[in-house]
């Protein structure tokens, strides 16, 4: 007897619910997608993501209603392979790459993916942030050797960028994470300031703006400059910066900023630096842009209890929705407990609201690799 699909309503967490369905092997039905909007149904980028999902899996069945307000998804096996995908300009390539990173390690073979479009837009994770902040999270789970190369940078609105991603490491299941310790101490700050089709001096001005804010940390700070020229500069002018605060233990915090209309490069650098300090101030082992990937990898791990320390500010509505979706898919619950008082000499932890998040893995096994 075939189990009925899991029912969801609305467009919120569209990508994550498709990812959870693919990993769990359960069919889902999402209805009432913007049913009350003037333009109801799926957006172009959501349809594009469904096509990408279809390209890296085998046997997936996707049914979309005439109005686009209902989607039925029956997942197949993750096979990966060589895939080229042209992303719509309404979202950055990070919108598509972030969920694919959760699926690729559990495929039948390595994934070689080329994404074309906007590389950073200030809404989705930029390619530099994915490389410097998300990849280290996967390394904590034994998923290694990821490669991301920016062939062309593409700024909104016309894009023209191209990113090559190689994910060769296929695993049976992630290792269990035990990171419920004190908040890591930041030892250095790194970053990439970039520009396309504007004066190369813009990059230096971004770096100066960021350094002016980050000087209070006393940490070693080095921000690389990447001035795209010629064919590598895409089709639109733009500039931005991605910053990462790194700890010796391998954990990191990240923030990024992309220049908007009427903004100076100094404004962009200062905004990114302040956002980075805010992420560090929230405490815990991870920042807001990393936490969802971390939780999913903990859930699909071995049948052992993993623990991680998370700052109170990281726990928002999206985090709670993810925990509810996980319970719906696998029936597993997440325990959140307030962190015990740390050593009084630990000045960095003073005043932080932190919680220990405990998750028992569901014992997920990569069926594609097992069949192979």
CA distance 334 to 315: 13
Ordered strands of the 220-228 beta sheet? 220-228, 186-196, 238-247, 252-258
Q: What token pair was written down for 60?
A: 């997936």
The residue extents of the domains of the chain are: 1-76, 186-282
- The percentage of residues in the chain with a pLDDT greater than 70, rounded to a whole number, is 95
- In which band, very low, low, confident or very high, does the pLDDT at 110 lie, cut at 50, 70 and 90? very high
- In which band, very low, low, confident or very high, does the pLDDT at 371 lie, cut at 50, 70 and 90? very low
CA distance 221 to 243: 10
Give the pLDDT confidence of 33-74 residue by residue, as tens digits: 999 999 999 999 999 999 999 999 999 999 999 999 999 999
- What's the pLDDT at 368? 65
Instruction: Please name which of 297, 160, 344, 185 lies closest in space to residue 237, comparing C-alpha atoms.
Output: 160
Find all residues with CB under 8 Å of 72, minimum gap 6, and list them: 5, 27, 28, 29, 61, 62, 63
Packing angle of the helix pair 317-330, 291-299 (nearest 10 deg): 20
Residue 343: is its pLDDT beyond 70?
no
Give the mean pLDDT of 325-329: 96
CA distance 86 to 52: 9
CATH superfamily to which 186-282 belongs: RNA 3'-terminal phosphate cyclase, insert domain (3.30.360.20)
Query: ω into residue 157 within 30 of 0, thus cis?
Result: yes
CA distance 350 to 343: 9
The whole-model pTM stands at 0.94
Give the pLDDT confidence of 242-300 residue by residue, as tens digits: 999 999 889 999 999 999 888 999 999 999 999 999 999 999 999 999 999 999 999 99
- What's the pLDDT at 351? 54
Find all residues with CB under 8 Å of 216, minimum gap 6, and list them: none
- What's the pLDDT at 106? 94
Tell me: domain 1-76, CATH 3.30.110, correct? yes
Task: Output the average pLDDT for the chain.
Answer: 92
Give the mean pLDDT of 107-125: 96
Residue 345: is its pLDDT beyond 50?
no
Cβ neighbourhood burial of 219 (10 Å; 0-12, 13-18, 19+): middle
């Amino acid at each position: 007897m075939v189990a009925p699909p899991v029912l969801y309503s609305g467009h919120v967490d569209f990508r994550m619910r498709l990812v959870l369905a693919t990993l769990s092997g359960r069919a889902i039905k999402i209805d009432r997608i913007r049913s009350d909007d003037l333009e109801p149904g799926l957006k172009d980028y959501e349809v594009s993501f469904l096509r990408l999902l279809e390209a890296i899996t085998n046997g997936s069945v996707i049914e979309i209603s005439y109005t686009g307000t209902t989607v039925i998804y029956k997942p197949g096996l993750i096979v990966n392979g060589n895939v080229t995908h042209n992303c719509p300009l309404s979202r950055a390539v990070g919108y598509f790459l972030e969920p694919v990173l959760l699926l690729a390690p559990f495929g039948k073979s390595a994934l070689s993916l080329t994404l074309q479009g906007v590389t950073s837009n200030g809404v989705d994770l930029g390619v530099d942030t994915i490389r410097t902040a998300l990849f280290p999270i996967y390394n904590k789970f034994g998923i290694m050797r990821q490669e991301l190369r920016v062939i062309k940078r593409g700024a909104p609105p016309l894009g023209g960028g191209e990113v090559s991603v190689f994910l060769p490491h296929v695993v049976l299941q992630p290792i269990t994470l035990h990171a419920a310790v004190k908040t890591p101490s930041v030892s250095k700050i790194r970053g990439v300031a970039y520009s396309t089709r504007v004066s190369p001096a813009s990059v230096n001005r971004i770096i100066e703006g960021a350094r002016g804010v980050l000087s209070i940390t006393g940490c070693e700070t080095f921000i690389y400059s990447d001035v795209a020229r010629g064919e590598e500069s895409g089709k639109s002018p733009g500039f931005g910066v991605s910053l990462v605060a790194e700890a010796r233990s391998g954990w990191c915090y990240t923030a990024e900023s992309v220049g908007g209309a009427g903004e100076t490069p100094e404004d962009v650098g200062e905004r990114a630096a302040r956002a980075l300090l805010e992420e560090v101030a929230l405490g815990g082992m991870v920042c807001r842009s990393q936490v969802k990937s971390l939780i999913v990898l903990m859930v699909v791990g071995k049948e052992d209890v993993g623990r991680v320390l998370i700052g109170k500010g990281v726990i928002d509505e999206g985090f709670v929705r993810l925990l509810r979706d996980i319970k719906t898919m696998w029936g597993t619950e997440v325990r959140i407990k307030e962190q015990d008082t740390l050593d009084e000499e630990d000045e960095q932890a003073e005043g932080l609201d932190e919680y220990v998040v405990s998750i028992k893995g569901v014992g997920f096994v990569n069926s594609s690799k097992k069949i192979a």
